[in-house]
Amino acid sequence: MTIQHDTTRQDGLTLTLRPAAERGKADFGWLKSAHSFSFGNYYDPAHMGFGNLRVINDDLVAGGQGFGRHPHKNAEIFSYVLGGALEHKDSLGNGSVVSAGGVQYMSAGSGVTHSEFNPSATDEMRFLQVWLLPEKANTPPTYDTIYLSDAEKSGALKLFLSPDGRDGSMKTQANASVYAATLDGDQSIRTDVKAGRKAWVQVANGALRVNGVALGKGDGLAIDGSGTLTLDQGTAAELLFFDLAA
């Protein structure tokens, strides 16, 4: 195993840390956001995405505030709600409120407008907003939601988004499978990164280790190559795991 700066090389895998503290930041008063990749006024040519993963924004929205009606096209977008609730309305006629433990997903395809608001007048809400690049352009836009129970995520990778909708997951136009997990105490998860794929771990809360690499809240880990990953030593950890097209 070799380590250079924030990169660890081991057994056919290259693991590169994206530290939480180095993310782009935005503070609009009602919205505080941390950007893992270039977004909005934050531009860093070294962090334009990873494979077909384009955006991970860690957003904290004040009570009664939100994103007004705005358009999207040819992007696969999901919001993983970590605290409070998120209200969605769009030009397809969809409307829903997703609370912590839920995920809302929108395939923008040929074009859709939507709004996202915190329906509580007083409580903050937090969510991870993620954009993936679709395999095909201008497909019919769609919308879906799913709720992930604590039991489903505990010590296991729970699939919630996939190209084929397998195992009850939501179906995406992106060549990506996305999982959620929580990890604590002596729990551990083993998974393989297959040849021709990439992986990304995003820590939403708590701390854990991935193949011995220590990760904390807000950290990301880019994984190239192929081999086995072991996620363990979790302390109230909650994470997203991305299996991505290379």
| 2-245 under CATH 2.60.260.20, yes or no | no
Q: What is the mean pLDDT of each run of 10 residues along the chain (246 residues)?
A: 67 95 96 96 95 97 90 94 93 90 94 90 96 96 95 98 97 98 98 97 98 98 97 98 95
Q: What's the confidence (pLDDT) of residue 69?
A: 86
Q: What's the confidence (pLDDT) of residue 67?
A: 86
Q: What's the confidence (pLDDT) of residue 5?
A: 53
- Are 110 and 139 in contact by the 8 Å Cβ rule? The answer is yes
Reference 75, options 99, 39, 25; nearest CA is 39
Q: What's the confidence (pLDDT) of residue 224?
A: 97
Strand 176-183 with 197-210, pairing: unpaired
Other residues' Cβ atoms within 10 Å of the Cβ of residue 229: 19
Q: What's the confidence (pLDDT) of residue 4?
A: 44
